[in-house]
Amino acid sequence: MNARPSERKGLILAVLCLSVFLVVVDNTIVNVALPSLSKSLGASNSALQWVVDGYSLPFAGLLLAGGGLSDRWGRKRTMQWGLLFFGLFSLGAALSTSTGELIAARALMGVSAAFIFPATLSILTVTFDDSRERARALGIWSATSGLAVAFGPITGGALITHFWYGSVFLINVPIVVVTLIAGYLIIPESKNPFRRPLDPVGLFLGTAGITSLVLAIIQGPTWGWRSVTTLGLFVASAILLVAFSVFELHREGPLLDVRVFKIPAFSSGSSAIAMAFFGLFGFIFLMTQYFQLVRGYSALSAGVHTLPFAIITMVMTPLGALLALRVGARYVVSGGLVIMGVGLYWVSVQTTDAAYWGPIVLSMVVLGTGFSMITAPSTAAIMGSLAPEQIGAGSAVNNVTRELGGTMGVAILGSVFSSLFGPQIIEAFRGVPLSSAQVATAQSSMQAALATAHALPTSVQPDVLDGVTRAFMSGFHRACLVGAIVLVITGLVTNRFLPGRSATTEEFSMMDALAH
C-alpha cells in the first residue's frame, strides 16, 4: 500500500471498525429472529435466551484471554484467526437444524469474537500514537460499537423478511472475507515487547464463576429459584469469583489486576457502562418480541420500529461527551442512568395498544438519550483514573463490562419475564381441554402459546388469546420495571463516586475528542 500515513491510518481504522461492527452486531441481530427460531426449531423461552447469551457469555468470559494472547502471538495474527473461525462458525449457525446445534455454533462464534474485539483496540492504540488522534479514533471505534447494537435488529429484520432465519448468520461470511483480505493488506503486525505468561488458573476461575452465575439466572424460573441446583450454582459462582479475586491479587502478572476496582471512579465508571448495556440488551430482547408477537409486526418492521433509538443514540452520543466537559462526568453519567431508568419505567406502564407515534417512540427517545450520556464520559473517567501501568487492565475491563452487562440484561430481565409469563399462561388456558403436556408447551414461549391458542376451537380462541397477551404484557412490564429500578439505583451510586469538573486533563482531552 502506497497511501500516505494519515490515509493508511484511516484505512486501518476502517478495517478495525468493520471488525468491531461484525462481532458486536451479532449480539442483537438475532433478536428479531427469535420468533422465527421458536417456530422453526421449537425453542423455549430459556433456549431463546441461550441463543442470545450463548454468544455473549464466552465473548465476555474470554475477552481477557483474547487480549493477553494478542499481545503474545501478535495482534494482527490473533484478529485474523479470530475472524476466520468467526466466519466458519457463522456458516455452521446458518446451517443448524436444532436448537442445540445453533447454541453450540453461537457459543463458538462468541469464543472467536473474544479474540477479535480486544485485538482491534490494541491495534488502534499502537497505530494512533498521538494522544488526541488516539482519542478521536477511540470515539469512532466506540460509536461503531454502539451503532452495531442499535442497528442489529434492523439488519436482522430485513434478512428475516426476505430469507430464512439462518441468513442473519450467513451474512457474516462475505463480510469476514472482505475484512480478512483488507486486514492482511493494510494492518501491520505488532506485539507487546513485555510478554507475560498466560494465567490459565485465573481464566478458569473467572469464566467458570460467570458461567455459573448466568446459568443460575437463566434457568432459575425453570428449575425453581429455591431448588438445590439453582442455589448450588449461586454458591459455586460466589466461591469461584472470590477465589478468582484472591488468586489474581497475589499473582505476579495477573490476568486482571483486581486492585483497579479499589479506585472509586474506575468501579463506578465500569458499573455505569455495564448497567447501560444491561438495560439496552434487556430492552431490545423484550421489545423486538413485543413488536412481533403482540403488535403483529413483521421481523423487518420490528427492526425498523426500533430505529428511533438508533437515531437518537447516533445524534446524542457526541453531545453527551460535550456536556460532560461542561458539567463533569459525575452528573452526566448518573443523569443518563436515571434517564434510561425513566424510559424503561415508561415502557413498563404502556398498554398493549399504545400508540407507536406517541408513548412508544418517546420512550425510546428517552432511553436513547440516557444511553448516549453514559458510555463516552464513563470510558474517559475509567481511563483517566488509572496509572499508566494499569491502562491495559482498564481497557480490558471496559470491554468485559459491556459484554457482561448485556449478557446479564438478557438473562435477568428475560428470567423476570418468564417468572410471570409461565404461571399466567396456566391461568389463560384454565378450563380449556388441554393435556398437561400441551399447557407446558404453551408455557415455554409466547410463540408456542399463540400456536396452542390458535389450534383451539374458534369459540374459545378470543378469551384465551386475550389471556396469552395479558401474560406476555405482565412479564414484559415487570421486567422493564426491574430494569428501571436497577438503572436508577446505579445512577444514584455513580453520582457519589464519579469525578466532577475537576477531572484530569487527559480525561477532558479524551471527552473533547469524543465530542467532536
Q: How far is Cα 360 from Cα 449, in angstroms, rounded to an integer?
A: 25
In a domain, 140, yes or no: yes
User: Band of the pLDDT at 192, cuts 50, 70, 90?
Assistant: low
Provide the pLDDT for residue 511.
Answer: 44
Same domain, 206 and 181: no
Provide the pLDDT for residue 513.
Answer: 45
User: Band of the pLDDT at 483, cuts 50, 70, 90?
Assistant: very high
Q: What is the CATH number of the domain that holds 11?
A: 1.20.1250.20
Provide the pLDDT for residue 206.
Answer: 80
Q: Which of 35-44, 91-100, 405-414 has the lowest mean pLDDT?
A: 35-44
Provide the pLDDT for residue 514.
Answer: 43
Alpha helices in 305-435 (DSSP H): 307-327, 329-348, 361-372, 375-384, 391-428
Last residue of some domain: 150, 181, 197?
Answer: 197
Provide the pLDDT for residue 392.
Answer: 55
Same domain, 140 and 235: no
In a domain, 154, yes or no: yes
Among 451, 447, 449, 431, CA closest to 439:
449
Higher-confidence position of 4 and 508: 4
Higher-confidence position of 201 and 211: 201
What is 38-96 written as a DSSP string? HHHH---HHHHHHHHHHHHHHHHHTHHHHHHHHHHH-HHHHHHHHHHHHHHHHHHHHT-
In a domain, 481, yes or no: yes
Contact, 198 vs 108, CB < 8 A? no
Percent of the chain residues past pLDDT 90, beyond the cut: 22
Provide the pLDDT for residue 344.
Answer: 95
The helix (H) or strand (E) run that includes residue 59 is helix 45-61
Same domain, 368 and 506: yes
Contact, 264 vs 272, CB < 8 A? no
In a domain, 472, yes or no: yes
Q: What is the radius of gyration, based on Cα positions, of the chain?
A: 22
Q: Cα(first)–Cα(last) distance of the chain, in Å?
A: 29
pLDDT (tens digit, 9 = 90+) per residue, 55-85? 877 887 777 777 777 777 788 888 899 999 9
> Mean pLDDT over residues 250-273, rounded?
80
Contact, 86 vs 176, CB < 8 A? yes
Last residue of some domain: 160, 178, 197?
Answer: 197
Res 258 pLDDT > 60: yes
pLDDT (tens digit, 9 = 90+) per residue, 264-292? 878 888 899 899 989 988 888 888 889 88
Written as one letter, the residue type at 293 is: L
Res 381 pLDDT > 80: no
Same domain, 313 and 387: yes
Provide the pLDDT for residue 322.
Answer: 73
Mean model confidence pLDDT for the chain: 81
Kindly state the cell numbers that stand for 237: 459462582
Contact, 328 vs 500, CB < 8 A? yes
Kindly state the cell numbers that stand for 261: 476496582
Provide the pLDDT for residue 207.
Answer: 77
Same domain, 318 and 374: yes
Same domain, 279 and 224: no
Q: Report how many domains make up the chain.
A: 3
> Mean pLDDT over residues 121-148, rounded?
71
pLDDT (tens digit, 9 = 90+) per residue, 9-63? 888 888 888 888 888 888 777 777 777 777 777 777 667 777 877 887 788 777 7
What is 434-453 written as a DSSP string? --HHHHHHHHH-HHHHHHHH
Distance from the Cα of residue 277 to its chain's centroid: 6
Q: Which of 239-253, 469-483, 491-505 is predicted most confidently?
A: 469-483
Look up the pTM and report it: 0.80
Higher-confidence position of 306 and 478: 478
Residue with cell 420495571: 481
Same domain, 492 and 403: yes
Q: How far is Cα 441 from Cα 358, in angstroms, rounded to an integer?
A: 36
Handedness of CA 89, 95, 100, 103 (dihedral sign): positive
User: Band of the pLDDT at 391, cuts 50, 70, 90?
Assistant: low
SS (HEC) of 196-260: CCCCHHHHHHHHHHHHHHHHHHHHHHHHCCCCHHHHHHHHHHHHHHHHHHHHHHCCCCCCCCHHH
Q: Which range marks the domain in which residue 247 is found?
A: 199-254
In a domain, 396, yes or no: yes
User: Band of the pLDDT at 221, cuts 50, 70, 90?
Assistant: low
> Mean pLDDT over residues 191-211, rounded?
75
Same domain, 170 and 230: no
> Mean pLDDT over residues 496-511, rounded?
55
In a domain, 455, yes or no: yes
Same domain, 188 and 237: no
What is the CB-side half-sphere exposure of residue 500 using CA atoms within 13 A? Answer: 2
Handedness of CA 87, 397, 34, 163 (dihedral sign): negative
Same domain, 235 and 155: no
Same domain, 205 and 249: yes
Among 326, 346, 324, CA closest to 334:
324
Same domain, 113 and 227: no
In a domain, 14, yes or no: yes
In a domain, 63, yes or no: yes
